[in-house]
């Protein structure tokens, strides 16, 4: 194994955040309607450029101009399902990375079946919370990420944990969706998905830790979190990122 490629570090996170800010990748999000604003703000705060339409008329043009695609299954309906299939086919045909967030697939057999259909199309990353990933199970040929108090990343041979974050992240709707958008931004500038995703989750997690002392509760935490994401320094990541490895 080439350790420098397969084992992400805090220094990698700092370097990749700088790369996102320098290259400003375009991240197209097919995002649930509840957290579009928060997710777009998070993507913007790390230095990337979000777009959000799920219009059938426009999706092809937007994916064509995007560097990476985020597919989030919240507030799913028949039209969004149709648009998602078009967007995923385009991303695959263009060799663009894409991430699947199977939001609430544990609530609905129909949504779980759709998530499985999409996984068969080869997402670069699948990210969900513990309940969602427990149902999704093994994800061949993709990086699987289970977020929570500790984030667990596995590409099938290397396991990494990111031990950053704050309990208030679980009290703000959409931190998981936002983390998917930020992972996408990092995938656009780094071909090693494990390295990109670990860096992205260290970035959001360290930002949350540094923001929490500024906040009075979930409302002001959401604002402080975005402020801190936008101003996060390489030094913050070098000092606070806790990325650990456990190879099977």
Ligand X SMILES: Cc1ncsc1CCOP(=O)(O)O
- Residue located via tokens 């894409």: 98
What does 169 interact with, of ligand ADP, ligand X, none (CB < 5 to 8 A by kind)?
A: ligand ADP
Least separation in angstroms between CB 105 and ligand X: 9
34 is an interface residue for ligand X by CB under 6 A: yes
User: Where are the alpha helices (H) located in the chain, listed in sequence order?
Assistant: 3-6, 10-23, 36-45, 59-65, 78-93, 109-119, 130-136, 175-187, 193-211, 218-231, 234-240
Q: Please tell me whether residue 102 binds ligand ADP under the rule CB under 6 A.
A: no
Under rule CB under 6 A, how many of the chain's residues touch ligand X? 10
Give the containing element (helix H, strand E) for 123: none
Site string for ligand X, 103-122 (x = CB under 6 A): xx------------------
Q: Which of 225, 103, 104 is nearest to 171 (CA)?
A: 225
Rank residues 83 and 153 by Cβ distance to ligand ADP and give the closer one: 153
Instruction: Assess 40 for contact with ligand X (CB under 6 A).
Output: no
The answer to the question of residue 22 lying near ligand ADP (CB under 6 A) is: no
Residue 28 φ/ψ region, left for φ over 0, alpha for ψ in the -120 to 50 degree band, beta for the rest: beta
d(CA 181, CA 93): 21
- The interface partner of residue 204, options being ligand ADP, ligand X, none and the CB cut-off 5 to 8 Å by kind, is ligand ADP
Q: Which residues bind ligand ADP (CB under 6 A)?
A: 129, 147-149, 151, 165-167, 169-170, 175-176, 179, 201, 204-205
């Amino acid at each position: 194994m080439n350790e420098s490629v397969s084992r992400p570090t805090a220094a990698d996170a700092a370097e990749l955040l700088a790369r996102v800010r320098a290259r400003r990748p375009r991240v197209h999000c097919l995002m649930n309607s509840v957290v579009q604003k928060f997710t777009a703000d998070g993507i913007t705060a790390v230095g990337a450029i979000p777009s959000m339409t799920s219009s059938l008329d426009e999706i092809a043009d937007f994916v064509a101009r995007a560097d990476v695609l985020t597919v989030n299954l919240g507030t799913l309906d028949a039209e969004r399902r149709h648009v998602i299939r078009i967007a995923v086919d385009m991303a695959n045909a263009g060799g663009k990375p894409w991430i699947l967030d199977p939001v609430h697939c544990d609530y609905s057999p129909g949504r779980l079946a759709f998530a499985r259909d999409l996984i068969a199309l080869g997402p670069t990353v699948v990210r969900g919370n513990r309940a969602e990933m427990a149902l999704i199970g093994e994800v061949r040929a993709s990086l699987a990420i289970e977020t929570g108090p500790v984030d667990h990343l596995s590409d099938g041979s290397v396991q990494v944990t990111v031990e950053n974050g704050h309990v208030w992240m679980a009290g703000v709707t959409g931190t998981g969706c936002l983390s998917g958008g930020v992972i996408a931004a990092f995938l656009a500038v780094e071909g090693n998905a494990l390295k990109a995703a670990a860096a992205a989750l260290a970035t959001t997690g360290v930002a949350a830790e540094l923001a929490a002392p500024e906040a009075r509760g979930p409302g002001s935490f959401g604002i402080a979190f975005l402020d801190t994401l936008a101003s996060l320094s390489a030094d913050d990541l070098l000092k606070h990122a806790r990325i650990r490895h456990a190879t099977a």
